[in-house]
Amino acid sequence: MKIRHHFQEEAETIQMAPLIDIVFLTLIFFMVTSVYATLESEVDIQLPTADTALQGERTQGEIFINLREDGSIVVNERTLTLEELQETLDRVAVYFPGGAVIVRGDRGAALGQAVQILDCCRKADIQNVAFAALPEEE
pTM beyond 0.75: the answer is no
CB 48 within 8 A of CB 107: yes
Range of the domain at 96: 45-135
Domain assignment present for 105:
yes
CB 55 within 8 A of CB 92: no
pLDDT digits (tens, 9 = 90+) for 79-132: 999 999 999 999 988 888 888 888 988 888 888 888 999 999 999 998 888 888
Please count the CA atoms within 13 angstroms of the CA of 85 that sit on its side-chain side.
27
pLDDT digits (tens, 9 = 90+) for 33-85: 766 555 555 567 777 777 777 776 666 667 889 998 888 999 888 899 999 99
Res 13 pLDDT > 70: yes
Nearest-10 Cα torsion for 114, 38, 134, 88: 20
Candidate ranges 1-5, 19-23, 129-133; pick with highest mean pLDDT? 19-23
What is the reported pLDDT for 83? Answer: 93
Domain assignment present for 20:
no
Number of domains into which the chain is organized: 1
> To which H or E segment does residue 67 belong?
strand 63-67
What is the reported pLDDT for 86? Answer: 93
Taking CA atoms, 83 is separated from 51, 63, 120, in Å, by 34, 16, 9
Query: Which CATH number characterizes residue 52's domain?
Result: 3.30.420.270
